[in-house]
Structure 1
Amino acid sequence: MRKIKKIKTIKDLEQSIHSQIQARKSEKKPVLTISAGTCGQARGSLKVIKSLEKAIKEQNLEDKVKIKVTGCHGFCEAEPNIIVQPQNIFYQKVQPKDAKDITSQTIINNKIVDRLLFSDLATGKKISSEKNIPFYKKQRRIILGDNALIDPTDINDYLSIGG
């Protein structure tokens, strides 16, 4: 657990938060953002998280990738889902057995796990980016659009996108 410095003024608080946000933004390691809202949990996202943590440890990737647990990404039918940043790869219906493939193929070898991609029902085409999935494509997400960016247990995640 990180220690919080004693804050004497509002300006000290702002500077502290700003430096933490800048450090976070400058990190270059990939982030696995896992949807763990109630719909994701009902479909097994907590088991997927445990499997990913195990795969990351087994492959000595603890310093090379970050897991970020967030609220619902909005596409409940595709739960559990993971967005891999910075590539913006959207994996759907992820199961615990998929964790090793995600870490070994996507994180280590920078390859996409095709079987986890969304498949467009109209065209049969595999879609890797969330923004190109028909469900999201025409949405203008105002209220819950940042859910996939914010760990609800970390106020700095909220502040890092502008509060």
Structure 2
Amino acid sequence: MEISLRINGSAETLEVQPQVSLLDALRDQLGLTGTKKGCDQGACGACTVLSDGARITSCLALAVQYEGHEITTIEGVDHPLQEALVRADGLQCGYCTPGQICSAIGMLAEHKEGMASAVTEDDEVDELDEEEIRERMSGNLCRCGAYNGIVEAIKEVAG
């Protein structure tokens, strides 16, 4: 099947089989290897990208589902969170970092829109404290355990 998408601001036309994941299309056909294949089951968040600004796990998304959508991978990200992660020592091996960054950008947009999380009290979404950040980022795993730095960086950017 031929599909058209906007990837990091550029129009792309891809020839894909219906069962090809968005992750595999990005990596194998476009050479965008910043998006990582971790578990390939949607459990680790390493493959997180943004679709029209919303975070998705690209290993579970079929490429054909995103016909006409704007996809942003880590290669297309230019966000203050990137520098904040370095300052906060929010990465170690770096494997999960692209997914963490894309997920955090999507999470910050969700929070700004007033979306509650599982720990939001009394439907008040005003404060993005450590508990809120940890809950909202819980779908992104870091085997190195750099969570404290990741949370610190997100708090810095959110503030």
Q: TM-score, normalised by structure 1?
A: 0.27
Q: TM-score, normalised by structure 2?
A: 0.27
Bigger helix share: 1
